[in-house]
Structures are given as structure tokens and as C-alpha cells.
Amino acid sequence: MRRKEISASSTSKSPSQSEHSALNSKSVLTILLLAALTALPYLSSEYVVQVIVLPVLILGLAGLGLNILTGYTGQISLGSGGFMAVGAYATYALAVHGGITFFPLAILFAGLITGFTGWLFGLPSIRIKGFYVMVTSLAAQFFFEWLFLKFPWFYNYGDVPTISLPPMSLFGFEIDSSYIVKYYFTLAVVVFLTWIASNLINSHIGRNWMAIRDMDTAAGVIGIDSKKYKSLAFSVSAFFLGTAGALWGLIFLGTTSVGSFQIDRSFQILFIIIIGGMSSIRGNYIGAAFIFLLPLVIDYFAKTFIGETVSPGLLSNFQKFLFGVMIIIFLIKEPEGLDRLVRQFILKLKVGRA
Amino acid sequence: MRTNLRSITTAIALGVATLLPVKATYAEGMTQYVPLFVYRTGPYASSGSLWFAGERDYFTYINEVEGGVNGVKFAIEEFETEYNPDRAVEAYERSKSGKNGSPTAFIMTHSTPATYALMDRARDDKIPLFDPAGGPSESKNGLVFPYVFPLLLTFYGQGSVAVNFIADEFGGFENLRGKKIVTVYHDSGYGRASQPVMTELAKKYGFIDVQIPVAHPGSEQTAIWRQVRAEQPDYVVLRTWGVMTPVAIKTAKRFGIDTTKMLGDVWAGSRADMIPAGEAAVGYNAIAPYPGGSDFGVHAKLKKHVVDAGLTNLSNPDADFGAVFYNVGVVNAALAVEGMRVAMEKFGNRPLTGEEMRWGLEHMTIDDTRLEELGMMGLLQELKVTPTDHEGGGAARVQEWTGNGWNLVSDWLQVDDSIVDPLIEAKAAAYAAEQGITPRSID
């Protein structure tokens, strides 16, 4: 009996459906989605691009990073915020102290640096099994929160420990020039890294990760070097998180500090992958949309329908309560996350058509 | 399966609905849209909610009693930020374009970290950031920071006023030499903001300046105060905010530190912080550019038309009307209204844009006569904001907590501009160079 799927694609393919048609509809949907995202700035307002789509893309990427470690390799991590901070501060340091003002290069190196720190903090974790791995990731989280406040070098000796996007270039454009430039750059990075993640996961590396997650003793018996693959998972996950952190702090926010990357951020990313669906790629983006946008939706409806009749303090707290309730409802309906719901929905469409 | 489908469709419908324009029930044409970035949840809510209530009550007063500012009423919308700059950025993007035909004329950030996070955007979008007794100190220089207004008192200024008061306590500046002043601060931009001034003043007067950080939210400070006691301070300055303040005072008392030799900055001195600290807070001092108390002229008006009419935003008016942070809100709102009045004289009686509001704020003078008219004599200092000086005041009084209320124990203490201004100019010039800004010339 298969408790968790080894395959990353559709869980319950009906035997009558051919590989060919399943791939086709998936590719068609993907292409449509990419086309919509590419055309978005011209179809929609600045508000939708800047406040709705951009942060969801970045948080989805962060979720993907954590999913590689937690969803696919089974190592629970609460260090996501810390690694995102490394990415943001590393990009800043490379630009301001290292003179690398070509943004794609800076963010690439920042990702590699974060990958290295991920490997470093992974070293003690690879010997630990199960729940206790979380503790070393917590250590990483608090270490980085402390590090970037303590040493003024990281925020260029400013009065306040915040970093801002310095003037940096992007193929001739000034990266700070317009939200459209920022959006396309982020979209390109997100699509590219998602493609890489997808390839990784569908390769033998991904299968080995999942073997370690499902039954690491058995994996060891058949010859998978679990320490090496766990290390790899920590590094790759950190790379993704670092890139997402740089995008979040410097592209989305523009000015950031340790406050954007605290333990609540780690929890937020963890919730994104739980709600979105662990061991899925699409689920990260769905989860990010849910976690990030639902509070906005609740806010809109609360203001419109309840609005002036209750005190604002009560309203704010009520919104938080409602958000929690909705998470509980969704998880009861579908414990494996929203991705599962989407998958079943698409299957229903296919079955309906066939 | 069907229920799943239904729930998904509902979810999608909800999602799509957010993208549709929001229809609110505000009158078209003559309302000024004012977004307020608030925090009614989280560790800073107890301090913040009084502040927002003060503002909303004053705006309600203007709407109901005076029919708006020259006929233009306020349409307030709150955005919850939990004192988190990320949320403030989201709220900014949501609210910067105005609503229902009214542009956004100014944004009250209520948070120094949020002001820092929004500075660059506000400059590009030409919307003034309103942060009285807060914000980056260098933004006093309005030529480099046209859209940031640290009205009344910058943090550098607060450092200077603190040292002036402490010097008075020791009987003169000469007596400061060799004394040790320990500052316990909220480890953020806000808390660190007056460190440069303390360093300069320590050099000038020969006292020892020790700075000890407390990580947000600061609900546990045993290790901190053990450290403070080891330092054996002659005086302690608190640059804390929210729950950090009462915890600091109580923990200090536990370690035997004399809380009557403690001075809190503007944001560490409200009834909301003193009550939880109980006995420990008696004798504690706080800098007050706006003292507590409800016997000012403006309070009589607010009591009659807003509180007694049941329109107040306070959840506990009996206890909190006239509290320091409530008065902060009243003063903030009054300054915004005055700025609008000045701008309307030039641009006409209609909802204002950010640029027009900036002009209004920069040409705002509030003298004693006007203070009398507003009913704020003693509550607000005389103010003269200019394009070069976005602070406009630079003075504060100090009050002492009696256990039941606040007693003013000093007159208006002026900032030592000779120390503070050069620091501000240097910082402003550095910022301009880094960002490639040419300071404006005064027109």
C-alpha cells in the first residue's frame, strides 16, 4: 500500500488515460498560466501586480525551497526566515561592499552563499532523525536574526539596522526603475528556479529524497547515501530560500531589516507548504496565494459588511481568528493540502471530458 | 467531491472579488481619504490603540462639529499592520492612490520602522509621511526629505532633551562629568535612533554612555537588568515601546534600580505602560512633547461632542480619555488639520493631493494665539515648520508618574541645536549622496 506517492505528478491517474494526453493538458495549462503571468502588467493595474501577484510568486518560491527540504526529504525546518535573511543581506553586502551591481549576478552569488550556510547548518542535522531536526533549524533562525542586528557591517554602518536596495543594474535597466521591470525579473527567476526544482525532483535525486523521507532505513539498505542527499537537500533548499529572501527584501519591499525574516516568517512559509501541499510544486504557489491573500480578502469583506458596527480592535482580532478557522476548515477537508484539491478538480474535468 | 468543488468555487469567487474595485459608502466629491496604519493586535496594541483613538476622535470632532475642514470631511480607513513594516508596505501600496475620487494627501505611519521602509516610495509618489516625534532624525532636513515630517521633536532631539533633564537633576551640566547613563533600548531603528546624539553629548559633557538593547517584543528582560545593575548606573534612560516598557520598569525595580532615576522617551511614557508596572512606576519620568491630562480646552470640546455623544473610538473612555498616547493622537490629528487649512488657503477648499499637503505642512505656523483657539495651550508647543525645517518645534517637557496620573516637573526643554543640527546635516547629506538626490532649493 502506497501511503505517499513516489511520483511527483498526478497521484491517481486512471489506467485508461495515456501518458500523452495527461502531459498535454498539463503543458497546455502551464503555458496558459505563463502567458497570463507574462501579460499581467498590461492586463491589470499596478496594485494587482505589485501587491497581489509579486509577493505570491516570491513566497511561493520560498515555499518551494522549504518543500524541497521538508516536503520531499522529510526534514522539518523552522529556519526558512533565517535563510531568506541571508539571501537578502548577502545580496546587499555583495553590492555595497563587493561592488557587484549587476543584480542577477549578485542574487546568484547570494543564493550560493545561502546554499553554503544551509549546508553548514545541515551538518549537525544529518545525523539526527525525525522531529529533532527542527531544533537545529531553529538555531539557524535565531542565529541569523542575531547576526544581522549585531554587526553594523551588514547594514553598512547605518544608524538603523535596515538595508535598502542600492542602485543596481539589470541588462541596461536600473533595477529600481519601474515595477514592471521588477515584476518581469522576479517572474523570470521564479519560473527558471521552479523549472530547475521540477527537474531535480523528477530525477533520481528527487526520488532518493523521497525515499529518505518515507523510510530512511530502507533507503539506507538499498544503498542510498542518506547523509549526502540530506546535505544536498539542505543546500538546495537554502539556495532557493536565499533567492526568495533577496527578492522579498530588496525587490518587493525595497527596504528591509531582520524584522521581515523572523520566526513568524518561518512559520508562514511552513504554513504555506502545509496548506498548499507538501511534496508538490504547484502547491507552493497555491499555498502562498492562500496564506498571503486570504487576510486581504477577509479584510475587504469585514470592512464592507461589518465595518463600522464593531470596534476596530475587535475587527482586527476577528480577522485573525477567521483566518485560523479557514485554515482548520481547509485542512479538515483536505489534509494533504490545496494542491490535492486542485488535482482532483482537474481530474474531474478530465474524467468529465473523457 | 461535490462539496470540494463548491468550496473551491467559493474560494475562487472570493479571490476574484478582491480584484474588483471596492465600493464604499462615502460621499463623493468633498471627502478627504485618510488611510491610518494601525496595530490593534500584537504587543504594541495597548499603546497604539489609544493613539489611534485620539486621532479618530479629533477627526470625528472636525467632521461632526465643524463640518469638515472648510467643508471637506474626513473618510478614515484603517489598515492593520501589527507594527510590522512589511505589512505597512502592503498597506501603503493599497492606499496610496486614494479612494472615491479623493487622493491620499498624507499617511500617518505610527511606526518609525514603517517610515524608514516607506521613505523612498513616498518620495516617488509624492505623499507626505506624517511621523510626529518619530521618523528618521535626518528627515528634519526638508530639502533632502521633502516628504517626511518628523514633527515636533526628532529622536536626536529627544536624546538632547533627555540629557538636559538629567543634567538638571544633577544640578547642572558640570555635574554630569563621570556619571554613567545607561540607555535600555528597543533593538530596532526606533530604539537606536538617538545613539549618535548620546555619543556626541557624552563627549561634550564627559558622562559615560552605555547602550543596552532589548530584542522585540521584550516581554522577558531578566538578563538585561542584571546587566544594567552590574553597570551601576547613575541614571537610566528607556527607549522602549509597547509591552517592553512596563516589563522594563518592573524588572528594574526587582533588581533594585531606583526607578525615580529613570527617564523614558516620548514613546515610553504613557498611563497604559505605567499601570501594569504598578508600584514600581511611581516616580518614573517621561519626556512629553504632549503631556497627559484632560483639562485642556480641546478636551472639553471632545468630551462634549464626541465622548458624551457616544462617538468616541476609545474602548474605555473613563480611564483613557486624556492619557498621554490619546493626547498624542489628538495633537497629531490637529497638526494634520492645520496643515490642510494652510494648504487649502492656497489651493482651494477641496480634497488635497500629497504635493499640496506637503506645501501646507511646510508653511504651517502655530503660535500662542492659534494654540488658544485650538484649546491646546500647554498641550502643544509653538510650531513653525518650514521647507528646511520639518521638525518645527524642538522642545519637550518632562512629566513624572504619581501612581494615579502625571505631574509636569519641568518647563519646555529645548533641544541643543548646536549638537544636533550638525549631525542631522551630515546624515542628510550622506543620504542624498547615496540615493543620488539633489536637495531642493527653497522657492
Query: What CATH number is associated with residue B407?
Result: 3.40.50.2300
**Residue pointed to by grid coordinates 509579486:** A54
Q: Would the pLDDT of B407 be above 60?
A: yes
For residue A105, being part of any structural domain is answered with yes
- Return the beta strands (E) in chain A as ranges: 162-164, 169-170, 173-174, 255-257
Tens of pLDDT along B218-227?
889 999 999 9
**Cβ contact A161–B192 (<8 Å):** yes
CA–CA dist B297, B270 (Å, integer): 21
What's the pLDDT score for residue B45? 85
Count of structural domains within chain A: 1
For residue B20, being part of any structural domain is answered with no
What's the pLDDT score for residue B360? 92
Q: Are residues B97 and B182 in the same domain?
A: no
Q: Are residues B124 and B163 in the same domain?
A: no
What's the pLDDT score for residue B228? 92
Best-predicted range by mean pLDDT (A104-113, B27-36, B175-184): A104-113
Residues in B touching A160 (Cβ below 8 Å): 116, 136, 188-189, 192-193
* 3-class SS of residue B104: strand
CA–CA dist B3, A187 (Å, integer): 34
- Cβ neighbours, 10 Å, residue A221: 9
Q: Are residues B95 and B212 in the same domain?
A: no
For residue B139, being part of any structural domain is answered with yes
Q: Would the pLDDT of B6 be above 80?
A: no
**Residue pointed to by grid coordinates 538617538:** B194
State mean pLDDT over B376-386. 87
Residues in A touching B113 (Cβ below 8 Å): 162, 257, 259
For residue A152, being part of any structural domain is answered with yes
Query: Are the CB atoms for B56 and B332 separated by under 8 Å?
Result: no
DSSP letter (8 states) at residue B306: I
State mean pLDDT over A51-78. 93
CA–CA dist A89, A161 (Å, integer): 11
For residue A324, being part of any structural domain is answered with no
What number of CA atoms fall less than 13 Å from residue B192's CA on the CB side?
A: 16
CA–CA dist B431, B148 (Å, integer): 13
What average pLDDT does the structure give for chain A?
A: 85
Helix (H) or strand (E) holding A237: helix A226-246
Task: Sort B38 into a burial class: Cβ within 10 Å, 0-12 / 13-18 / 19+.
Answer: buried
Residues in A touching B213 (Cβ below 8 Å): 149
Minimum mean pLDDT range among A172-181, A204-213, B129-138: A172-181
- Return the beta strands (E) in A101-186 as ranges: 162-164, 169-170, 173-174
**Cβ contact A161–B4 (<8 Å):** no
Best-predicted range by mean pLDDT (A344-348, B248-252, B389-393): B248-252
Structural domain including B169 reads: 156-292+398-417
CB proximity A50 to B under 8 Å: yes
Helices (H), B388-437: 417-435
Minimum mean pLDDT range among A143-147, B48-52, B324-328, B435-439: B435-439
Structural domain including A190 reads: 43-280
Q: Would the pLDDT of A302 be above 70?
A: yes
Q: Which of B45, B80, B427 sits opposite A159 (nearest CB)?
A: B427
What's the pLDDT score for residue B393? 81
**Cβ contact A342–B8 (<8 Å):** yes
Q: How far is B280 from chain A (nearest CA, A)?
A: 29
Spatial neighbors of B353 by CB under 8 A, at least 6 apart, are: B103, B105, B126
User: With bands split at pLDDT 50, 70 and 90, how would you rate the model's confidence at A137?
Assistant: very high
Q: Would the pLDDT of B442 be above 80?
A: no
Q: Would the pLDDT of A228 be above 80?
A: yes
Phi, psi of A279 (to 5 degrees): 50, 50
CB proximity A312 to B under 8 Å: yes
State mean pLDDT over B158-172. 90
Looking at per-residue pLDDT, the higher value among A11 and B373 belongs to B373
Spatial neighbors of A274 by CB under 8 A, at least 6 apart, are: A287, A331, A337
For residue A4, being part of any structural domain is answered with no
User: With bands split at pLDDT 50, 70 and 90, how would you rate the model's confidence at B19?
Assistant: very low
Q: Are residues B191 and B326 in the same domain?
A: no
Complex-level ipTM: 0.78
DSSP letter (8 states) at residue B369: H
State mean pLDDT over A135-142. 92
Q: Would the pLDDT of B240 be above 70?
A: yes
Tens of pLDDT along A5-38?
444 444 444 444 444 555 576 778 788 888 888 8
What's the pLDDT score for residue A14? 45
Q: Would the pLDDT of A4 be above 80?
A: no
Q: Are residues B253 and B298 in the same domain?
A: no
What's the pLDDT score for residue B334? 92
Q: Are residues B65 and B206 in the same domain?
A: no
Q: Are residues B58 and B108 in the same domain?
A: yes
Residues in B touching A331 (Cβ below 8 Å): none
What's the pLDDT score for residue A130? 75
CA–CA dist A56, B11 (Å, integer): 16
Q: Would the pLDDT of B15 be above 60?
A: no
Looking at per-residue pLDDT, the higher value among A203 and B139 belongs to A203
Query: Are the CB atoms for A126 and A231 separated by under 8 Å?
Result: yes
For residue B58, being part of any structural domain is answered with yes
Q: Are residues B282 and B412 in the same domain?
A: yes
Query: Are the CB atoms for A334 and B61 separated by under 8 Å?
Result: no
Distance between the two ends of chain B, CA-based, in angstroms?
69
**Residue pointed to by grid coordinates 496610496:** B96
Q: Are residues B46 and B77 in the same domain?
A: yes
Minimum mean pLDDT range among A46-60, A270-284, B426-440: B426-440
State mean pLDDT over B424-438. 82
Spatial neighbors of B150 by CB under 8 A, at least 6 apart, are: B131, B132, B133, B134, B135, B136, B137, B139, B140, B390, B391
Mutate to test the interface with A, among B2, B18, B190 (most CBs of A within 10 A): B18
Q: Would the pLDDT of B1 be above 60?
A: no
CA–CA dist B324, B292 (Å, integer): 4
Relative to beta strand B180-186, strand B208-214 is: parallel
Tens of pLDDT along B29-85?
588 999 999 998 888 888 888 899 999 999 999 999 888 888 899 999 888 888 888
What's the pLDDT score for residue A8? 43
- For chain B, counts of helices (H) and of strands (E): 16, 15
Q: Are residues B272 and B389 in the same domain?
A: no
Looking at per-residue pLDDT, the higher value among A5 and B342 belongs to B342
CA–CA dist A277, A337 (Å, integer): 4
Helix (H) or strand (E) holding B273: helix B271-277
Torsion of CA B164, B168, B169, B172, to 10 degrees: 110
Cell readout for B46 is 495597548
Q: Would the pLDDT of B25 be above 50?
A: no
What's the pLDDT score for residue B8? 53
* Percent of chain B surpassing pLDDT 70: 93
Bridge partners of B180, per DSSP, are B208
Residues in A touching B16 (Cβ below 8 Å): none
- Cβ neighbours, 10 Å, residue A11: 17
**Cβ contact B1–A47 (<8 Å):** no
**Cβ contact B120–A299 (<8 Å):** no
For residue A245, being part of any structural domain is answered with yes
What's the pLDDT score for residue B288? 86
Count of structural domains within chain B: 2
Q: Are residues B311 and B431 in the same domain?
A: yes
Q: Are residues B284 and B326 in the same domain?
A: no
Taking only Cα atoms into account, the Rg of chain B, rounded to an integer number of angstroms, comes to 22
What's the pLDDT score for residue B295? 86
The candidate with the shortest Cα–Cα distance to B131, out of B110, B146, B117, is B110
Query: Are the CB atoms for B46 and B272 separated by under 8 Å?
Result: yes
Taking only Cα atoms into account, the Rg of chain A, rounded to an integer number of angstroms, comes to 21
The CA distances from residue A94 to A98, A147, A155, B264, in Å, are: 4, 17, 12, 39
Q: Which of B4, B41, B93 sits opposite A50 (nearest CB)?
A: B93
For residue B76, being part of any structural domain is answered with yes
Mutate to test the interface with B, among A316, A330, A348 (most CBs of B within 10 A): A316
User: With bands split at pLDDT 50, 70 and 90, how would you rate the model's confidence at B9?
Assistant: low
Q: Which of B18, B97, B189 sits opposite A160 (nearest CB)?
A: B189
Spatial neighbors of B95 by CB under 8 A, at least 6 apart, are: B33, B35, B77, B79, B104, B107
Cell readout for A80 is 526558512
What's the pLDDT score for residue B345? 92
Q: How far is CA A318 from the centre of its chain?
A: 27
Q: Which of A48, A55, A304 sits opposite B19 (nearest CB)?
A: A48
What's the pLDDT score for residue A22? 53
Q: Which of B38, B86, B188 sits opposite A253 (nearest CB)?
A: B86
Q: Which of B84, B119, B196 sits opposite A259 (nearest CB)?
A: B84
The candidate with the shortest Cα–Cα distance to B361, out of B156, B155, B154, B131, is B131
Looking at per-residue pLDDT, the higher value among A177 and A30 belongs to A30
Q: Would the pLDDT of B413 be above 50?
A: yes
What's the pLDDT score for residue B4? 54
Q: How far is B65 from chain A (nearest CA, A)?
A: 20
* Percent of chain B surpassing pLDDT 90: 28
For residue A301, being part of any structural domain is answered with no
Q: How many residues does chain B have?
A: 443
